[in-house]
Chains A and B, each alone.
Chain A
Amino acid sequence: MSDSRPIHCVVLVKQVPDTHNITGEVMTKDGTMNRGALPAIFNPEDLNALEMALQIKDRHGGTVTVITMGPPKAANILRESLFRGADKVVLLTDRKFAGADTLATSYALQCAVQKLGRFDLVLCGRQAIDGDTAQVGPQTAEKLGIPQITYAESIIEIADGKVTAQRAFDSGTEIVRCQMPCLLTVVGTANTPRPASVRRRMEHKLAAAPGEYTALRAQWPEFETDAALDEYLTRHDLKIPVWTAEDVGATEGSIGLAGSPTQVHKINFVVLESTESKTISPTPEAIAAMVAELVHEYIVG
């Protein structure tokens, strides 16, 4: 029997450059990436985490709150979250957060989650496609002092204050049960994220953080002043709350560059040249030799 109690979920999401669609123009000569040339997207596995939270809400009731830490334009993925069904979103933004490594990021997120108050589950994508560390979820759980289920692929049951989930690995799956509150990191195979709902998109099209008012008023001149727009958004619950380091009570020395022990020591630019390519003749022997070489080099296996 599933628990009839509503479940309150917090989803941690990140806006990332679309590294899956890197084209020639995006790469600079020295092998680094021109971030400005890449569209900013919702980190794919964070969308899976949001979908899992929305399915929990569909089944058990409760709320879904989405938090992102990032620059002001990260509000875009918060709006996307609202379009898909999130009840509440929070933009954690402050110049003081800039330059954060995974430790400083998870500290800031911990502060934000704690400020929200009561929650049953924290969900986030397994890893982001820009840094690919997969550290922020686990570190946030540690800082919150709650248990974690990494690589979560599906929720099997939520009952009696416990969540039962299936974890997915390369080698198989594992079913674990864990006391709530806890944190889950969700893998991309967990689900197919639902599309935005047209109704919710219509309802939330004006959702904005105060930093976006100028742009919004350019599109909707009916709002003559920021104050008029602010009043309208507040009345219709469309104002995206912005939390600063001070708002969440974060200690200055633990956030941003100052709170980040990780230092980039050296970057190796690997520029693939066409001279490194190999032509394999279409014969069974040549293909067998290529496979043997790939296995030997641990490229496949």
Chain B
Amino acid sequence: MSENFFLDNPDLQFRLAQLDLREALELKEKGYSETELYAAAPRNYADAKENYRIVLEVLGEVCAERVAPRAAEADEEGAHFEDGEVTYAAPTLEAIEALRQAELFGAMLPRQFGGLNLPESIYQMMVEVVARAESGLMTVYGLQEIASCLEEYGDEETKARILPKFSRGEVSGAMVLTEADAGSDLGAVATKATLDEATGQWHLNGVKRFITNGLADVSLVLARSEEGSSDARGLSMFVVEKDETVKIRRIENKLGIHSSPTCEIQYNNTPAILLGKRRFGLMRYSMNLMNGARLAVGAQAMGIAEAAYREADRYSKERIQFGKPIRSLPAVSRLLLAMKVDLEASRALLAETASWVDLWKVHEKAIGEGTAPNLDALRARHKQCQTLAETLTPMVKYCATEMGNRVCYQAMQVHGGVGYMREFNIERLFRDVRITNIYEGTSQLQVVAAIGKLLNHSLDPLLAEWQAAEYPADMAAEKAILVELTELFGKAVDALKAQPERDRVDYYACDLVDMAVWLSCAWLLLRDTNVLEAKKPVARVYVASIAARVRAAGQVVLASDPVPLEAIPALLG
């Protein structure tokens, strides 16, 4: 039987089975009314879920059979740069061809543009499967938010021209935001957009840096359209279709994801199309892109961590020391246990987050179309879903990418010295995962994004819902602990909110976000025990592992001790 990265992963299959997409799909599939228009459109909810299973099964096979076997080669060869031309490594090109043959591009695009009309939550599972096979390939396959952003805000002519090419896998996308002096601070972007008033044509001039998949045929470029402005409000978003005015000056020599070309791009009077409205470039469109990309990078870290765990699991069975496989030593099994539980906790949070993003997106679209009869109700629900999606997205990006780094670190520990050697996959995974908690906003920036929401009690509705739910009788002890910890979290939120010194809020924000992440994962795992007996030990181990840490973090936040901040001038100068 052929290998399959979906069928060999019971937890991913469980997450798919548990995804409740009824509400989102009713809107997304327009009451399942497209079956006569498109043969692949689902007839009903069960049929839609079957379609998603099919997607993941096909992808799982392509990734296991065609992509993963050449991952080491893709890393070794890397993307090429010669005479101003960037080309993918041979294994990357072959992987793209296999994904194209399987018609797996255009995942989230509507069917009218040749897409598969998949929800975000399914797409994120796909990204995990791709990243498990080849981390760098995710940046080619996993940037489908670009097409989605174009679909959401682009003009009809541009959409009709470009989107079907995305669906056929003929073009890939890049989000071109960063510049040398505008990294985390995107408001400082200086690439200039000028409008020729006579023809209505925009042109771009400037240099962009660190552009993932910068060789893409279609780019969304953030540029300064308002002359004389110096902040975010002077920025607009532009669609650029690559031509001879777009020069790639170099590609970076990186620690990991070698198959993914990271480019420096120069725009020389490059014709561009304005996306949506002027001045909304950063606040609306970049944020839209980044919200999706943050989820995808979380899923990428999940996939790399899954691969790393499997390497460690296998090695610990084969490696004999002291006359027995090393996994029988508690010091090693402890590492494996931590990895496994960490993985399942993050996957639960990722699925939960993506399902709120789905609800947010389908409501946004339905309201935009304005044809639904109950618009007021839709608006209220939209607001609720958006708040939760925006709270959970930075949390899960932070959670999953830090988890990915932790798991790869632990997996290398299990390998011991050989894990440090090129011949072992963990060496590559360890390098590849490192970017995930840096790009699309560092972990520190995710904390900044999450803390504002948490201090506004945005997570409270979910925490209340989880507390009010029923759980199996033999999980009562865990529930009691989580109730206690949730109360502590509430106090910590109030304490930090009441803190008058801004620096102290920022300093202790990460402790509060940690608490929120641990609690959310723990509640979600507890909820899983209602449907799957095998989740009980997972939830027990997880709750036991976080309880003391949540209490400690709670104490730290409640105290918000000024000592470290006061010591900064003396210690750091």
Contacts and interface: CB of A to CB of B under 8 A. Distances in A.
Partners in one complex: yes
A270 B43 CA distance: 54
A178 to B, nearest CB: 29
B226 interface: no
Interface residues on B, range: 20 to 34
Contacts of B54: 198, 201-202, 205
Contacts of B43: 222
Contacts of A199: 40, 103, 116
A57 interface: no
Contacts of A196: 58, 61, 102
B90 interface: no
A200 interface: yes
A222 B35 CA distance: 15
Contacts of B66: 195
A102 B40 CA distance: 39
Nearest to B94: A192
Nearest to B114: A199
A205 B101 contact: no
Contacts of A203: 39-40
Interface string B43-64: 1101100110011001101100
A195 B61 contact: yes
Given A203-B39, A205-B50, A236-B39, A198 B1 contact: no
Given A194-B101, A195-B66, A201-B54, A222 B44 contact: yes
Given A21-B1, A39-B1, A198 B39 contact: no
Kindly list the 9 A-B residue pairs having the minimum CB-CB distance in the complex, ordered from nearest. Answer: A202-B40, A203-B39, A194-B101, A197-B103, A195-B102, A199-B103, A198-B58, A201-B54, A202-B51
Nearest to A236: B39
B69 to A, nearest CB: 12
A18 interface: yes
B312 to A, nearest CB: 26
Contacts of A197: 58, 101-103
A191 B55 CA distance: 24
12 contacts: A21-B1, A195-B58, A196-B61, A198-B116, A201-B58, A202-B51, A202-B54, A202-B55, A205-B54, A220-B47, A222-B44, A236-B39
Contacts of B47: 220
Nearest to B56: A198
B45 to A, nearest CB: 11
A220 B44 CA distance: 10
Contacts of A222: 43-44
Interface in B57-115: 58-59, 61-62, 65-66, 98, 101-104
B55 A198 contact: yes
State the main secondary structure of chain B at its contact with A. helix
A195 B1 contact: no
Nearest to A221: B46
A76 to B, nearest CB: 13
A198 B44 contact: no
A246 B300 CA distance: 56
B104 A198 contact: yes
A21 B1 CA distance: 8
A202 B1 CA distance: 22
Given A199-B40, A201-B58, 8 more contacts: A195-B65, A197-B58, A197-B101, A198-B54, A198-B104, A199-B116, A202-B55, A220-B47
B4 to A, nearest CB: 11
Contacts of A220: 46-47
Contacts of B40: 199, 202-203
Contacts of A18: 1
Contacts of A198: 54-55, 58-59, 102-104, 116
A133 B190 CA distance: 71
B201 to A, nearest CB: 37
A199 B103 CA distance: 7
B29 to A, nearest CB: 13
B43 to A, nearest CB: 7
A201 B116 CA distance: 12
Given A18-B1, A21-B1, A195 B39 contact: no
B301 to A, nearest CB: 25
A123 to B, nearest CB: 19
Contacts of B55: 198, 202
A22 B54 CA distance: 28
Contacts of B58: 195-198, 201
Contacts of B65: 195
A216 to B, nearest CB: 12
Given A39-B1, A222-B43, A195 B62 contact: yes
A25 to B, nearest CB: 14
B542 to A, nearest CB: 34
A194 B50 CA distance: 22
Nearest to B106: A199
Interface in A173-225: 194-203, 205, 220, 222
A197 B1 CA distance: 19
Nearest to B35: A236
B568 to A, nearest CB: 54
Interface in A15-63: 18, 21, 39
Contacts of A201: 54, 58
A220 B51 CA distance: 13
Given A195-B98, A205-B50, A200 B44 contact: no
B44 to A, nearest CB: 7
B17 to A, nearest CB: 15
A200 B116 CA distance: 11
B254 to A, nearest CB: 30
A18 B102 CA distance: 24
Interface in B390-411: none
Pick the most buried of B44, B51, B98: most chain A CB atoms within 10 A of its CB.
Answer: B51
Nearest to B118: A198
Contacts of B101: 194-195, 197
Interface string B214-237: 000000000000000000000000
A225 B43 CA distance: 17
A198 B55 CA distance: 6
A83 to B, nearest CB: 8
Contacts of A195: 58, 61-62, 65-66, 98, 101-102
A63 to B, nearest CB: 18
Interface in B97-140: 98, 101-104, 116
B539 to A, nearest CB: 32
A222 B59 CA distance: 28
A18 B51 CA distance: 27
Contacts of A39: 1
Interface in A263-288: none
A203 B43 CA distance: 11
Nearest to A200: B103
A203 B42 CA distance: 9
Interface string B1-24: 100000000000000000000000
Interface string A225-246: 0000000000010000000000
Nearest to B39: A203
